[in-house]
Amino acid sequence: MRLDKLLPPKAMQIRYTHAIWEYENDNEDDDRYCVNEDECTNVYDLILETSRKAVKGGGVYYRRRHKSYAQNDVKLYQDWVNDMNQKKLYDSLINVKVHRIGRRVVIEYKPEHARKMLERYNLKNKTTVSRQHIYSMETAQEQARRHIEEMLLCTDEEGENCE
């Protein structure tokens, strides 16, 4: 099966170079630094550049050695894009969709996807708030019901004041 037909028409392939990390000391809890910082691929910059260029049907893609590496990359970078759009750290939305085709990680310019994900996030937050509001109303009603029952029980006992 030819997967290149599924790629965006104006997508450009780049060579992906993984970062190699070394540690200051033998203990891995210490600070680490990138040995090949000049050569490794900065995917975050690729995402921002793809969003800035705004070419419909365009983007970039790179290949990973294994399918699981591509899945991990897609999850990492799509979550990052969604977080940046939700926090609104940039002037405009990052209109990019990160997805996988086989072993390829595709960074595609899709403004409708970014808007849809942001609307889904806003809808989810509104639903969560309303559920909390409903829960607090139910607990207040439950407390009022218990208080009324206690008052009724107190009046049933030979006219004593319970309070």
DSSP for 71-92? HHHHHHHHHHHHHHHHHT-SSS
Question: What is the DSSP-derived secondary structure letter of residue 94?
Answer: -
Q: Check residue 130 and give its pLDDT.
A: 45
Strands, E, within the chain: which ranges?
10-13, 21-23, 32-34, 58-63, 96-101, 104-109
Q: Check residue 137 and give its pLDDT.
A: 55
Q: Check residue 141 and give its pLDDT.
A: 67
Whether 15 shows a pLDDT value over 80: the answer reads yes
For residue 74, the cross-strand partners are none
Within 13 A of 54's CA, how many CA atoms are on the CB side? 8
Extents of the domains making up the chain: 10-109, 112-163
Question: What is the DSSP-derived secondary structure letter of residue 4?
Answer: G
* 156 vs 77 pLDDT, higher one: 77
- The model's pTM: 0.66
Q: What's the mean pLDDT in 28-32?
A: 70
Percent above pLDDT 70 for the chain: 78
3-state DSSP call for residue 39? coil
Q: Check residue 48 and give its pLDDT.
A: 87
Average predicted confidence (pLDDT) for the chain: 78
pLDDT tens readout for residues 58-109: 888 899 999 999 999 999 999 988 888 877 776 677 888 899 999 999 998 8
Q: Check residue 126 and give its pLDDT.
A: 64
Q: What is the largest CA-CA distance in the chain?
A: 88
